[in-house]
Amino acid sequence: MPIEQRVISTGKIGARNPSGGVGAIKAAPAEPAKPKGKRKKLILIAGAVLVLLVAAAAYWFLLGPGKAASGATPAAPPAPKPGVVLTVAAVSVNLSGGHYLRLGMGLQLTADVATPPDPAKALDLAIALYSGHTLAEVSDPATRDALKAQLVAELSTAYEGEVMDVYLTNFVTQ
């Protein structure tokens, strides 16, 4: 009886066994394994660079020189050009304590005013503002300047921007 020869292999059928005979497995050249730590470092560095680029772009467009270039802030309207000065007749204003103030004004109108407005509003606002103050208050330069600034603001509102300043042409107390 012939003897059967059996080959036991752990590899594929027909592959060569490690000893070089029939059924030997040919080993593929092994690639050097990349360490996972280097790949993580590369991802972290790329992420940090991306964050820095986004932060720099945000600064440039929101706070830096790119803000002016983008036109994000509208320019302030140009200051009105002065026109003619409308002289208002002097009026006597009652102060407290039996004193009075003789007040004359000139209204500086803007250049775009075609016809001079009625000065009655200006007189009414001036009388309402100055009456009732003491002689010491209207004689004090700081208070006088504050009252004048308040009068300019009220006149600008009342005349819808046609009056840009007030000149006190007559200011006599008694």
Q: ∠ CA 117-123-128 to the nearest 5 degrees?
A: 135
Residue 170 has pLDDT above 90, yes or no: yes
pLDDT in tens, 96-122: 999 999 999 999 999 888 888 999 999
- Give the model's confidence band at 3: pLDDT under 50 very low, under 70 low, under 90 confident, else very high: confident
Taking only the tens place, the pLDDT of each residue in 38-95 is 888 888 899 999 999 999 888 887 877 756 555 555 667 788 889 899 999 999 999 9
- C-beta of residue 141 within 8 angstroms of C-beta of residue 59: no
* Of 87, 77, 93, residue with least CA distance to 108: 87
